[in-house]
Amino acid sequence: MGILEKIADIEHEIGRTQKNKATEHHLGLLKGKLAKYRAELLEPKSSGAKGEGFDVLKSGDSRVALIGFPSVGKSTLLSLLTGTKSEAANYEFTTLTCIPGKFMYKGANIQILDLPGIIQGASEGKGRGRQVISVARTADMILMMLDSTKSHAQRKLLEAELEAVGIRLNKKIPEIYFKVKKGGGISYNPIVKQSQLTEKLVFEILHQYKIFNAEVLVRDDVTIDDFIDVIVGNRKYLPCLYVYNKIDQITIEEVDKIAREDHTIVISAEGDLNMETLKEQIWVHLNLLRVYTKKQSGLILRSGATVETACHSIHRTLAENFRYALVWGTSTKHNPQRVGLTHPLENEDVIQIVKK
Ligand SMILES: Nc1nc2c(ncn2[C@@H]2O[C@H](COP(=O)(O)OP(=O)(O)OP(=O)(O)O)[C@@H](O)[C@H]2O)c(=O)[nH]1
Ligand SMILES: [K+]
Ligand SMILES: [Mg+2]
């Protein structure tokens, strides 16, 4: 039996198993097996993962990948946002390679990649699914484009395709420490009470992966899927903005309903509707922050950046010659405040560095 058939079998079995406390263990093992076959499917031996026309150089402060079914308006949006022409037409698979464009927002240079549409089964290699997905993994965020005139099921279908290849959307990395050891058996240590994981299940899943010596430390109440993700590894946790296009084709009531969902915005690429909000939401989902120095116009950093990160982005040796910094903004109690290298910065802070 081929891997695809094995995957289909397990998916079928999971589908027909009722989900309750009694079947949780059985389902957990099935999920473990499923993740294992999917990982095998994605191994590089079935090459062509990159492919001609998909090897685009990373540039700018951040990279956004446009993912969606065919003809939802990805290329129309790229052309509008960036001025780079990417052919748009009313037939499917107009775009066949990866087309990069860029736009500036709040001082950040944001690269955005137009990609071919993906279809159901993309994760298993249908269409250009493999190539598109491997580009998506290199991005800092996913812009999932949807056609607001079509059924809401499309969003679930796309999410499932990305899930199947290990991309996790708007999810934080599970609080699990996992390390394979040379000997000593498996030590399983849940620091907080687990509602799904049991010692037995942890052992059995690890055995499926032929792991007999390991340390597992669980710092949060995690799901079985979280645990499998950590074991399989190679997961990509990315922010995702859901962009519903073609709102010129639906009623105000429908627009209003869609716009209320989390991480969601509504636009019309052809009608140039809501582009400023879209840019702002891309900025928010990229977790960028901008700080100002006296000399540089603005520095683009990632959320969680400290004074030290800022030093590094100004000059290679600045942190070594650092005495203290003065910071004005929301990250301080008084303005200015004298701070050290570990001080966390916030958006729109102003910083002045005093050298030794
Ligand atoms: N009504 C309406 N049509 C739009 C809008 N945006 C794009 N379109 C149309 O939708 C069709 C597909 O647009 P494309 O930009 O080629 O879509 P795509 O997602 O890049 O398609 P592929 O590259 O084939 O996957 C074109 O006929 C566009 O003119 C919109 O906001 N409203
Ligand atoms: K098209
Ligand atoms: Mg296109």
By the 10 Å C-beta count (0-12 exposed, 13-18 middle, 19+ buried), 39 is classed as: middle
Q: What is the DSSP string of 152-178?
A: THHHHHHHHHHHHTTEEES-PPPSEEE
Is the beta carbon of 74 within 6 A of some atom in ligand 1?
Answer: yes
Give the C-alpha separation, 52 to 29, whole Å.
38
275 Cβ inside 6 Å of ligand 1: no
Over residues 19-48, the mean pLDDT reads 80
Q: What is the pLDDT of residue 49?
A: 46
Rounded distance, CA 145 to CA 244, Å? 6
Q: How far is CA 108 from the centre of its chain?
A: 19
For residues 349 and 13, give the distance between their C-alpha atoms in angstroms, rounded to a whole number.
54
Q: How far apart are CA 101 and CA 132, in angstroms?
A: 16
- pLDDT category at 50 given cuts 50, 70, 90 is low
The two beta strands, 350-355 and 288-293, are parallel
ipTM for the assembly = 0.99
Q: Which residues does 195 contact at the CB level (< 8 Å), separation at least 6?
A: 221
pLDDT for 254-275, tens place per residue? 999 999 999 999 999 999 999 9
pLDDT at 298: 85
| pLDDT of 48 over the 50 cut | no
Please work out whether the CB of residue 149 comes within 6 Å of at least one atom of ligand 1. no
Asked if residue 144 has pLDDT above 80, the reply is yes
Q: For 269-325, what is each residue's pLDDT tens digit?
A: 999 999 999 999 999 999 999 999 987 778 999 989 999 999 998 888 999 999 999
DSSP secondary structure string for all residues of 211-232: --SEEEEE-S---HHHHHHHHH
- Identify the helix (H) or strand (E) that includes residue 302: strand 299-302
Q: What is the CATH class of 62-86+95-170+236-286?
A: alpha beta
- 3-class state of residue 12 by DSSP: helix
What pTM was estimated for this model as a whole? 0.87
Q: What is the mean pLDDT of residues 6-29?
A: 92
- CA 167 to centroid of ligand 3, rounded, Å: 22
pLDDT tier for residue 92 given thresholds of 50, 70 and 90: confident
- Do you find a cis peptide bond into 336, omega within 30 degrees of 0? yes
Please state the atom number of ligand 1 nearest to the C-alpha of residue 72: 19
Question: Strand, helix or coil at 39?
Answer: helix
CB of 115 closer than 6 angstroms to any ligand 1 atom: no
Give burial (CB, 10 Å; 0-12/13-18/19+) of 25: middle
Which secondary-structure segment (H or E) carries 311?
Answer: helix 307-314
**Collapsed DSSP state (helix, strand, coil) of residue 237:** strand
CA–CA separation, 168 and 314 (whole Å) = 32
Ligand 2 center to residue 246 CA distance, Å? Answer: 13
Cβ distance 209 to 231 under 8 Å? yes
d(CA 72, ligand 1 centre) in Å? 5
- Nearest ligand, CA 266: 1
For the chain, domain boundaries = 62-86+95-170+236-286, 175-221, 288-355
Distance in angstroms between the alpha carbons of the first and the last residue of the chain: 68
131: CA distance to ligand 3 center in Å? 15
What is the residue-averaged pLDDT of the chain?
Answer: 91
Q: What residues are neighbours of ligand 2 (ion), with CB under 5 Å?
A: 71, 94
Nearest residue CA, atom 9 of ligand 1?
73
Q: Any idea which fold 288-355 has?
A: Ubiquitin-like (UB roll) (3.10.20)
225 lines ligand 1 (CB under 6 A): no
